[in-house]
Amino acid sequence: MSQNTIIELIKSQEIEYVDLRFTDPRGKLQHLTLLSDQVDEEFLEEGMMFDGSSISGWKSIDQSDMKLIPDTNSPYIDPFYAEKTLCLHCNVVEPDTGEPYNRDPRGTALRAETYLKASGIGDVSYFGPEAEFFLFEDVKFSVEMNKVSYEVDAQDASWNTDSHYEIGNMGHRPGIKGGYFPVNPTDINHDLRSEMLSTMKRMGMKVDKHHHEVASCQHELGLIFGSLTHQADELQKYKYVVQNVANAYGKSATFMPKPISGDNGTGMHVNMSIFKDGNPIFSGDKYADLSQDALYFIGGILKHAKALNAFTNPCTNSYKRLIPGFEAPVLRAYSARNRSGCVRIPWAENPKAKRVEARFPDPAANPYLCFSALLMAGLDGIKNKTDPGQASDKDLYELPPEELKGIPTVCASLREAIESLEKDQDFLLQGDVFTKDQIRGYIELKWEEVYAYEHTPHPVEYKMYYSC
């Protein structure tokens, strides 16, 4: 969309405000808002200065001046503001040189797409994330030097079978691991999810379905695939809509991977494919109708899985999900139609739908960094002809211990993921997609989280050890 078209859109739609949105290294959407009469072609070309020192992991205060450049191909009307507001995703650049800022996650995604084209392997990469979330009606937590606690609640939660309500307890609710797929009144949030999906459709997003997920209070909406940077933009909008519609219903939505114990955690399966000259390069005559390049792509994902974890599973809570017993893909194996391994090849009749699904990511991930890292790992596999080994066409959850010993796993903690990234990052540096400075800054942020987590006593420790 041209700058002229944006100006005309502002006039024709009687836009009052323009919202400039960007994403910080941890993946949180940020914004600033200005009156629409301040936006002209020169503004869209030159961008807007802002204080980069306010963003964790970016500039120090002595180098804080940075610039936001709006992407004119990303406009959408915000459905939640009282005043009509046009939103634009932005790239972050250095104000003195105009060069992209190397720690800007969206810039990384754009460089990953450029690298793919330069590699000759493909023209475009498509990503289809499946981001789950939990809905609660009451959320309380405390982290003080003398108190660490949390409490969540929802009327449809499995633990409320004997709770007292003024209107009475209706009794219909999914049990533990029982959320797939009962109808209402057991599924009481159908209308809420419908409003989420309809809101996304009205915003121009490509969506298709919604349903209750396996765990109590857990849900999912369907995003239709798109190109890497565009789909990362869409996932940021997805999370924004989910949290704001939930808020309007008096509920709280979280993409935290494991907010409750004893039930399934929240994942974000990522479906990936590559096309060249309009043709799907993952379709072929090898295992599960994959091409040899697709198998090499899987090999790259499995080889670099532990380093990838730093971006695909970027919080300490991620590794409370990645444990055996809750349908979590902890084993570095692949197979067709099998949901128990790290990588699955979904069944597809149409060659253009042939894709590879990474099952270990979760929605706490920064989508720009997550998708870019997955692509770079896969391309590294193709480049180096990385053999993924034999497919594991069996239920890996039920393997005896002697067989499990031979299958490598993903990381068991954020500490392990960071340490793996420190040792294995060359594949990310190809084509300057990621930079050493960017990875170093990201690692520093993650070490802060690890230390905060590891240095804080846990209530379970009081239960187990207080009387030792």
User: By CB neighbour count within 10 A (0-12 exposed, 13-18 middle, 19+ buried), where does 454 fall?
Assistant: exposed
Spot the catalytic one: 46, 51, 403, 422.
51
Spot the catalytic one: 359, 362, 380, 415.
359
Q: Can 3-101 and 124-145+209-465 be said to share one CATH topology?
A: no
Active site residue 31: no
Return the H-helix or E-strand segment holding 421.
helix 414-423
Active site residue 403: no
Spot the catalytic one: 24, 104, 113, 220.
220
Of residues 299, 284, 379, 387, the one with CA closest to residue 342: 299
- What is the spatial distance between Cα 15 and Cα 86, in angstroms, rounded to a whole number? 7
Active site residue 269: yes
Spot the catalytic one: 71, 233, 234, 357.
357
Active site residue 339: yes
- What is the spatial distance between Cα 400 and Cα 406, in angstroms, rounded to a whole number? 11
CB 358 within 8 A of CB 269: yes
Spot the catalytic one: 26, 103, 269, 304.
269
Backbone angles phi, psi at 182, to 5 degrees: -65, 150
Q: Please provide the CATH number assigned to the domain covering 124-145+209-465.
A: 3.30.590.10
∠ CA 341-346-350, nearest 5°, is: 160
Active site residue 51: yes
Active site residue 398: no
Spot the catalytic one: 132, 156, 187, 293.
132
Structure confidence at residue 123 (pLDDT)? 97
Structure confidence at residue 404 (pLDDT)? 73
Active site residue 357: yes
Please report, for the chain, the start and end positions of each structural domain, with discontinuous segments joined by +: 3-101, 124-145+209-465
- What is the spatial distance between Cα 447 and Cα 444, in angstroms, rounded to a whole number? 5
**Which parts of the chain register pLDDT below 70?**
61-62, 325-327, 337-339, 397
- What is the spatial distance between Cα 400 and Cα 214, in angstroms, rounded to a whole number? 25
Q: Could you give the count of Cα atoms lying within 13 Å of 265 in the half-sphere of its Cβ? A: 29
Structure confidence at residue 296 (pLDDT)? 98
Spot the catalytic one: 213, 233, 263, 380.
213
Spot the catalytic one: 113, 130, 233, 263.
130
Helix, strand, coil % in the chain, rounded to nearest 5:
35, 20, 40
Which residue is associated with the tokens 């954020």? 414
Query: pTM score > 0.75 for this model?
Result: yes
Which whole-number Å values give the CA distances from 373 to 70, 228, 301, 409, in the listed order?
24, 11, 9, 18
Q: Please provide the CATH number assigned to the domain covering 3-101.
A: 3.10.20.70
Structure confidence at residue 322 (pLDDT)? 92
∠ CA 274-276-280, nearest 5°, is: 55
Structure confidence at residue 53 (pLDDT)? 85
Structure confidence at residue 378 (pLDDT)? 98
